[in-house]
């Protein structure tokens, strides 16, 4: 197939070099965006009298035919086409003749590709936002069911203080709301149309970039044509946002892996989201959570690949920038796939409240509350802290827990201890007493749930 740019050359591109240069096998993903942009470009050319109305009709009909043929499987991408832009244009010319050759007036592949990626990412970001909301719903529902399910809260992966399972997983919900907003914010910044920047310097034709921007749903145009074709900061920004999202999913995954181990047994994952072992008949492995954790590295890799590809590039377009697409496509697909299994895995996971409670009973996680008991009787916190530390050391040596130390023994440590201390340090009481805003107490959990529900229902609560 003769290259569109063949005019200046005496011989064909070497076969290996041709394959190396070609991007059709991955940028074909953007065929819808490319055709949509081309239709709007033809409309603009006609509205400014650069092509005639009949020519526009013919181009638009031809492009619409290509779109539906691709969608119905009647047309395949030609692997010999250099990229999706060349493919659509040469197919158009095949279908409508020389008029097809007018489409590229006042346009370059440089602004075309900058446009297509923005259109692609805008749609994908919206879908990812919806998937985040699905996960938020799943977390919210589990939290509603577990408002009073007591578990140990951890620091350093050591049992620290009693919390509720709702409180714990709602932490992830809040992280996800910010992931959602970060993506939304990046899309707002990205939503400026580069089309009409042409190769880099603009064009001598009297075009209407605002018309094109408006038709394509942009908020405005990129005001510097060199910037319009040169930067991929919007890709980097979204990849960063996806990386942060994956980091959150990965931490959650790690906990799911831990919680479903025999050592914890805090949850049981549904059979639909676990796998067996080829040799050990007893195994039920949390592969989905492990894969989400593993794929996080992939998304980070995509971000770093793109940052590195861009860092040394002089303005304006350089072919290195063709590398942006595989990184973006991979990150988008990976994030979507992860969310699509993570959400139903969360919905179907069984919370083993009894095991969580039993774990909360060990490890002296009510020691802070015992210190607070003394503080409320007038002991300075640091002194109370030290006394309780000594009681804990005593319990460890005697194989006791705070609840099982007799009151006479407590009085040896401080005369201020009384029988009411046992009620004060019960796990239920420790949780209920945490009344501070954002804490694990029920009122705070209800408030957090209301906040997340409103977020899901599109109320802007931040």
Q: Which of 257, 321, 328, 388 binds ligand ARG (CB under 6 A)?
A: 321
Residue span 233-272 as binding mask against ligand ARG, x where in contact by CB under 6 A, dash where not = ----------------------------------------
**Distance of closest approach, residue 21 Cβ to ligand ARG, in angstroms:** 9
- Residue number, 313 or 416, with CB nearest to ligand ARG: 313
Residue span 10-39 as binding mask against ligand ARG, x where in contact by CB under 6 A, dash where not = -------------x---x------------
State residue 191 phi and psi, 5-degree precision: -80, 50
- Residue number, 110 or 243, with CB nearest to ligand ARG: 110
- Residue number, 3 or 336, with CB nearest to ligand ARG: 3
* Structure-token match 């998304």, residue found: 299
Position 306 contacts ligand ARG (CB under 6 A): no
**Distance of closest approach, residue 232 Cβ to ligand ARG, in angstroms:** 10
- Residue number, 116 or 372, with CB nearest to ligand ARG: 116
Site for ligand ARG in 97-156 (CB under 6 A): 109-110, 113
**Distance of closest approach, residue 218 Cβ to ligand ARG, in angstroms:** 20
Which residues are identified as catalytic?
156, 277
**Distance of closest approach, residue 306 Cβ to ligand ARG, in angstroms:** 13
- Residue number, 7 or 406, with CB nearest to ligand ARG: 7
Query: Distance between CA 385 and CA 102 in Å, rounded?
Result: 81
**Distance of closest approach, residue 283 Cβ to ligand ARG, in angstroms:** 45
- Residue number, 156 or 311, with CB nearest to ligand ARG: 311
Radius of gyration of the CA atoms of the chain, in A: 31
- Residue number, 115 or 132, with CB nearest to ligand ARG: 115
Site for ligand ARG in 325-384 (CB under 6 A): 325
With CB under 6 A, what is the number of residues at the site for ligand ARG? 11
Judged by CB under 6 A, the stretch of 62-70, 158-166, 240-248, 314-322 that binds ligand ARG is 314-322
Query: Distance between CA 69 and CA 196 in Å, rounded?
Result: 28
Nearest to 324 by CA among 90, 29, 35, 19: 29
Q: Which of 218, 317, 364, 410 binds ligand ARG (CB under 6 A)?
A: 317
**Distance of closest approach, residue 101 Cβ to ligand ARG, in angstroms:** 18
**Distance of closest approach, residue 90 Cβ to ligand ARG, in angstroms:** 14
Q: Which of 31, 34, 43, 83 binds ligand ARG (CB under 6 A)?
A: 83
Measured distance between the N- and C-terminal CA atoms of the chain, rounded to whole angstroms: 56
Q: Which of 47, 192, 285, 322 binds ligand ARG (CB under 6 A)?
A: 322
| Residues near ligand ARG (CB under 6 A) | 23, 27, 83, 109-110, 113, 317, 319, 321-322, 325
């Amino acid at each position: 197939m003769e290259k569109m740019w063949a005019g200046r050359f005496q011989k064909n591109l070497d076969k290996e070099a041709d394959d190396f240069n070609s991007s059709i096998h991955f940028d074909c993903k953007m065929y819808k965006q490319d055709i949509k942009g081309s239709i709007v470009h033809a409309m603009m050319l006609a509205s400014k009298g650069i092509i005639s109305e009949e020519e526009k009709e013919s181009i638009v009909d031809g492009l619409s035919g290509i779109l539906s043929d691709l969608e119905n499987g009647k047309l395949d991408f030609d692997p010999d086409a250099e990229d999706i832009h060349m493919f659509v244009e040469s197919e158009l010319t095949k279908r409508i003749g020389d008029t097809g050759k007018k489409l590229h007036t006042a346009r370059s592949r440089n602004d075309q590709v900058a446009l297509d990626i923005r259109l692609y990412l805008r749609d994908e970001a919206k879908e990812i936002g919806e998937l985040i909301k699905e996960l938020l719903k799943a977390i919210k529902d589990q939290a509603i069911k577990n408002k009073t399910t007591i578990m140990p809260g951890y620091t350093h992966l050591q049992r620290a203080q009693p919390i509720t399972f709702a409180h714990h997983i709602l932490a992830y919900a809040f992280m996800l709301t910010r992931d959602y907003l970060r993506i939304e914010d990046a899309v707002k910044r990205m939503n400026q149309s580069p089309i009409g920047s042409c190769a880099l310097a603009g064009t001598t034709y009297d075009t209407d970039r605002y018309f094109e921007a408006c038709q394509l749903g942009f908020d405005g145009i990129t005001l510097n044509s060199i910037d319009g074709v040169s930067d991929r900061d919007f890709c980097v920004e979204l990849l960063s946002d996806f990386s942060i999202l994956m980091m959150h999913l990965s931490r959650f995954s790690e906990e799911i892996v831990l919680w479903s181990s025999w050592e914890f047994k805090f949850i049981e994952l549904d059979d639909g989201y676990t796998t067996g072992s080829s040799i050990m008949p007893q195994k039920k492995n949390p592969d989905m959570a492990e894969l989400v954790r593993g794929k996080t590295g992939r998304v980070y890799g995509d971000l770093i690949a793109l940052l590195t590809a861009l860092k040394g590039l002089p303005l304006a377009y350089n072919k290195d920038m063709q590398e942006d697409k595989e990184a973006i496509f991979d990150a988008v697909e990976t994030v979507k796939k992860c969310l699509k299994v993570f959400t139903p895995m969360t919905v179907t996971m069984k919370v083993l409240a009894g095991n969580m409670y039993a774990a909360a009973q060990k490890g002296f996680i009510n020691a802070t509350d015992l210190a607070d008991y003394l503080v409320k009787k007038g002991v300075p916190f640091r002194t109370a802290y030290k006394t309780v530390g000594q009681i804990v050391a005593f319990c460890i040596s005697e194989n006791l827990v705070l609840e099982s130390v007799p009151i006479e023994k407590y009085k040896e440590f401080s005369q201020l201890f009384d029988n009411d201390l046992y009620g004060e340090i019960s796990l239920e009481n420790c949780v209920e007493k945490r009344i501070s805003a954002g804490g694990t107490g029920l009122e705070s959990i209800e408030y957090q749930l209301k906040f997340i529900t409103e977020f899901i229902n599109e109320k802007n609560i931040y």
